[in-house]
């Protein structure tokens, strides 16, 4: 069985369950998860082979050391030797930012490299990176990413067609980017059996409380919904830097919103099972950051909960419009409110979408099928020319 080194910086934030679940779904390749450090608190990586390039418990000294290595764009001492001892056939890095940081090490392994682009790593405007005065490495990120994309043996995986289009706009060659959906575990996320018509008129939001998720727009739309459907509820699960702003928006609108903070995967499932509608009103942030294809909207549909979303990949690929959910234009609060009202008021519509959602996910986003397609790409990439040692000098500019 061929071995693949799957690289991420920190192992693993709670928000990156999709990486762990994808690794658990491999069938033909043996994954070894490689990171620079452990994230505490973070996801359990029990059941996975793990290799750390730095101390398991970050200290101030180790953090400063990693910062210096990143700014100088050099490999950690001993890292190349340790990873060569794995005798891997391929390296797969999640996020373009991590791929650029790992590049001084990867180019010396002389292995094919695949990079999954998820969202912010390709959507944030290049000039936004270049204006970053806090980090030389950040300022050079766009140039280094594009230089890497021109190397033999480097291929990119986009989590949606929307991300692939953006990567091409960014300057990556079309034949260097392939779409592979991550998918979800349909055993974990399955319909609970409780009909939507028997549930409270509850709208559920799950996501970070950040600009691109559009939570403030949802609160504004909910104020109108609540005036017309007095027993409507809004539950927002997640934390983030804009929590106080969202709470203030709810208070100003005069609506009660349940803020749950960060919750476990098990609690996310419980919340989905009690929801009538799942809503992710994503927008493009001021710096260009935007969604790729949110896993949360797939999980909701798998559980038989209709979705209302404006996420880029979500609207065009992650739902069947009018069948499993509704899409609407970014920032259109009135359209958002109208879609929510339809699903809260019309039992027949909600029940029809509830039945269609699991079928759609089974056909297109089953994690076992999606991971087999990724492994097929590994097989093709493994026989491609490896990365030449010592290349990419132009990315140091």
Q: Are residues 225 and 352 in the same domain?
A: yes
Residues 316 and 290 in one domain: yes
Same domain? 328 vs 373: no
Residues 342 and 377 placed together within one structural domain of the fold: no
pLDDT higher than threshold 70 for residue 158? yes
Can you give the residue range of the structural domain that contains 117? Answer: 2-183+367-396
Domain for residue 275, yes or no? yes
Tell me: do 33 and 131 sit in the same domain: yes
The pLDDT of residue 282 is above 90? yes
- Domain shared by 349 and 255, yes or no: yes
Mean pLDDT lowest among 48-57, 107-116, 301-310: 48-57
CATH number at residue 242: 3.40.50.2000
Number of independent structural domains in the chain: 2
Q: Is residue 226 part of a domain?
A: yes
Any domain includes 190: no
Q: Are residues 179 and 274 in the same domain?
A: no
Cα gap 227→136, rounded to integer Å: 51
Which tens digits make up the pLDDT trace of 57-110? 667 777 787 888 888 888 888 899 999 999 999 999 999 999 999 999 999 999
**Any domain includes 96:** yes
* pLDDT tens profile 225-251: 999 999 999 999 999 999 999 999 999
Is residue 326, in this structure, part of any structural domain at all?
yes
Residue 162 is assigned to a structural domain of this protein? yes
Instruction: Please tell me whether residues 225 and 272 are part of one structural domain.
Output: yes
Sheet arrangement for strand 307-309: 258-261, 233-237, 202-206, 277-280, 307-309, 325-327
Q: What is the pLDDT of residue 249?
A: 96
φ and ψ at residue 113, rounded to 5 degrees: -125, 135
Contacts of residue 358, defined as CB under 8 A and 6 or more positions apart, other chains included, come to 186, 190, 191, 301, 302, 303, 304
3-state secondary structure the chain: CEEEEEECCEECCHHHHHHHHHHHCCCCEEEEEEECEECCCCCCCCCCEEEECCCCCCCHHHHHHHHHHHHHCCCCCCHHHHHHCCCCCEEEEECHHHHHHHHHHHHHHCCCEEEEECCHHHHCCHHHHHCCCCCHHHHHHHHHHHHHHCCCCEEEEECCHHHHHHHHHHCCCHHHEEECCCCECCCCCCCCCCCHHHCCCEEEEECCCCHHHCHHHHHHHHHHHHHHCCCCEEEEEECCCCHHHHHHHHHHHCCCCEEEECCCHHHHHHHHHCCCEEEECCCCCCCCCCCCCCHHHHHHHHCCCCEEECCHHHHHHHCCECCCEEECCCCCHHHHHHHHHHHHHCHHHHHHHHHHHHHHHHHHCEHHHHHHHHHHHHHHHHCCCCCCCCCCHHHHC
Domain annotation covers residue 288: yes
Question: Within this chain, do residues 161 and 203 fall inside the same structural domain, yes or no?
Answer: no
Same-domain pairing of 235 and 371: no
Q: What is the pLDDT of residue 384?
A: 65
* Spatial distance between the Cα atoms of 337 and 347, rounded to a whole number of angstroms: 17
Give the bridge partners for 258, in sequence order.
Answer: 235
Amino acid 397: pLDDT: 38
How many Cβ atoms from other residues are within 10 Å of residue 150's Cβ?
15
User: 254 and 115 share a domain?
Assistant: no
Tell me which of 384 and 97 has the higher pLDDT: 97
pLDDT tens for residues 338-356?
Answer: 999 999 999 999 999 999 9
């Amino acid at each position: 069985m061929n071995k693949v080194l799957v690289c991420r910086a920190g192992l693993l934030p709670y928000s990156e369950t999709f990486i762990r679940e994808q690794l658990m779904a491999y069938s033909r390749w043996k994954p070894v998860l490689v990171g620079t450090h452990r994230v505490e608190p973070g996801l359990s990586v029990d059941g996975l082979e793990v290799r750390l390039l730095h101390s398991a418990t970050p200290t101030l000294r180790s953090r400063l050391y990693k910062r210096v290595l990143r700014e100088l764009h050099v490999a950690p001492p001993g890292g190349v030797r340790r990873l060569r001892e794995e005798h891997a056939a391929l390296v797969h890095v999640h996020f373009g930012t991590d791929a650029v940081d790992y590049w001084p090490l990867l180019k010396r392994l002389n292995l094919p490299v695949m990079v999954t682009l998820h969202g912010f790593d390709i959507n944030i405007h290049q000039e936004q990176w270049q204006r970053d005065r806090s980090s030389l490495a950040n300022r050079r990120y766009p140039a280094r990413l594009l230089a890497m994309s021109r190397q033999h043996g480097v291929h990119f995986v986009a989590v949606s067609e929307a991300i692939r289009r953006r990567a091409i706009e960014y300057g990556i060659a079309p034949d260097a980017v392939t779409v592979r959906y991550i998918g979800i575990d349909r055993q974990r996320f399955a319909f609970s059996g409780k009909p939507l018509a028997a549930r409270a008129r509850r709208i559920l939001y799950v996501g970070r409380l950040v600009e691109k998720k559009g939570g403030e727009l949802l609160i504004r739309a909910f104020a109108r919904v609540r005036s017309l459907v007095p027993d409507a509820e809004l539950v927002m699960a997640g934390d983030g830097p804009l929590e106080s702003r969202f709470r203030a928006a709810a208070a100003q609108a005069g609506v009660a919103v349940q803020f749950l903070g960060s919750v476990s995967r098990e609690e996310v499932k419980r919340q989905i099972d009690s929801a009538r509608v799942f809503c992710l009103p994503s927008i493009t942030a001021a710096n260009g950051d935007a969604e790729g294809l949110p896993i949360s909207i797939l999980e909701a549909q798998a559980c038989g909960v209709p979705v209302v979303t404006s996420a880029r990949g979500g609207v065009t690929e992650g739902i069947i419009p009018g069948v499993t959910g509704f899409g609407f234009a970014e920032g259109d609060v009135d359209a958002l409110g109208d879609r929510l009202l339809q699903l809260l008021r019309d039992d027949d519509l909600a029940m029809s979408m509830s039945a269609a959602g699991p079928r759609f996910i089974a056909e297109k986003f089953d994690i076992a099928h999606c991971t087999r397609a990724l492994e097929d790409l590994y097989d093709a990439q493994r026989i491609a020319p490896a990365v030449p040692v010592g290349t990419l000098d132009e990315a140091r500019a």
